[in-house]
Amino acid sequence: MTFHNPLILLLLILIVPIVLWYVKRHAIKEQSVRMSSIGSYKGGSKSWRVRLRHIPFVLRMMAFALVVIVFARPQSSNSWQNRTKEGIDIIMTMDISGTMLAEDLKPNRLKAAKNVAIDFIKNRPNDNIGLVLFAGESFAQCPLTNDHNVLINMFNSVDYGMLADGTAIGLGLANAVGRLKDSKAKSKVVILLTDGSNNAGDISPETAADIAAKMGVRVYSIGGGTRGKAPFPIDTPFGIQYQEIDVDIDEPMLKRIAQKTDGKYFRATDNKKLKEIYDEIDKMEKTKREVQDFSRKNEAYLPFALLALLCIFSEIVLRKTLFDRIP
């Protein structure tokens, strides 16, 4: 059970000072009488009215608590339905090494890749998607999730310098494949984007591709960068200066990874081409997923309201009959 207005429940705290006031008030009212002997009163017992005289107050406090609960609007959420949606499990694996700052893609390779990937995520509302980053080492920035707002926030926080520099393609791919080992989806996909060649890590790209193939994971590999040379920003005492660097993408290796895993290799030489690649992957990867959706919430205040009315009515009846006071 949940509450639509949970803050109203804080009013229940008022019961504590009210009870303390009630106890103190009755303690003051009870006066003692001095007598020379109480022998004639020994063996006597209190009447049932005296023993039960606090019942009206208890009923009033119960009514107050129940009314507070009613105003908090308790709701039951036990209405669920199963339906079939299109969806797959995808791990997006992104290179964040220093060369991703080259500006042959605008504003640079890393930001261009992030922007296109975020648009891709927004167009796949039914998928479980995760994020693995790699440079000289690798780690999972976000596990598989259907909460795409969280995933997009994590994507936005990605930047160069989060990992030691280098390009551990094999390690990044192996990490991504490991995130899919418990997946029950019919289609498991890794989208691997890099702008270089493997020069770090303990796992070779071919070994990682073999593992992916055995686990039924399809890899779409993307080489990001123009052909020839690319402008690379360098900080100098005189501000940002640009140097032309060689674009060194190991395309044969990326093609082998795609072939081994029944995937496909793409080359993104500019922003438009990168967007087209993600659009093509989006069209290729569709499958059915059985999901459970919450359909509606049911108001559950009526039993509490009826109990509150019963407590109020009972208190009034008791005060006007059994516990009626003589003026």
Distance CA 257, CA 164 (A): 24
Q: Given a cut of 90, is residue 300 above it in pLDDT?
A: no
Percent of the chain with pLDDT over 90: 58
Tell me: pLDDT of 84 over 80. no
Q: Beta-carbon neighbour count of residue 306 at 10 Å?
A: 12
| Residues of the chain above pLDDT 70, percent | 84
83-291 CATH fold: Rossmann fold (3.40.50)
Q: Is the pLDDT score of 105 beyond 90?
A: yes
Lowest mean pLDDT among 37-46, 165-174, 232-241: 37-46
Q: Residue 128 contacts by C-beta under 8 Å, 6 or more apart in sequence?
A: 87, 88, 89, 90, 144, 145, 146, 183, 185
Residue 110's nearest CA partner among 146, 163, 58 is 163
Amino acid at site 182: D
Joined tokens for residue 212: 């992916």
Q: What is the C-alpha separation between 175 and 140, in angstroms, rounded?
A: 7
What whole-number distance in Å separates Cα of residue 14 and Cα of residue 152? Answer: 43
Q: How far apart are CA 216 and CA 181, in angstroms?
A: 10
Per DSSP, 258 falls in state H
* Tokens representing residue 171 in the block: 């390690």
Q: What order of strands is seen across the sheet that includes strand 74-86?
A: 2-3, 74-86, 288-299
What tens digit of pLDDT does each residue of 242-267 get? 999 999 999 999 999 999 999 999 99
Averaged pLDDT for residues 131-159: 95
**Which residues are 19's β-sheet partners?**
none
Query: Residue 321 has which token pair?
Result: 């009959």
Quote the tokens at residue 194. Answer: 């890099």
**Would you kindly state where each structural domain of the chain is located, as residue ranges?**
2-27+48-73+301-320, 83-291
Q: Quote the CA–CA distance of 299 and 152 in Å, as a whole number.
A: 34
pLDDT number for residue 80: 54
- Give me the helices (H) in 9-122, please: 15-29, 48-51, 55-71, 109-122
DSSP SS3 for 314: helix
* Per-residue pLDDT tens digits for 8-54: 889 889 989 988 888 888 776 655 555 555 555 555 555 666 667 77
CA of residue 209 relative to chain centroid, distance? 30
Element (H, E) at 125: none
Q: What is the mean pLDDT of residues 53-67?
A: 87
Q: How far apart are CA 302 and CA 211, in angstroms?
A: 58
CB 184 within 8 A of CB 177: no
- pTM of the prediction? 0.64
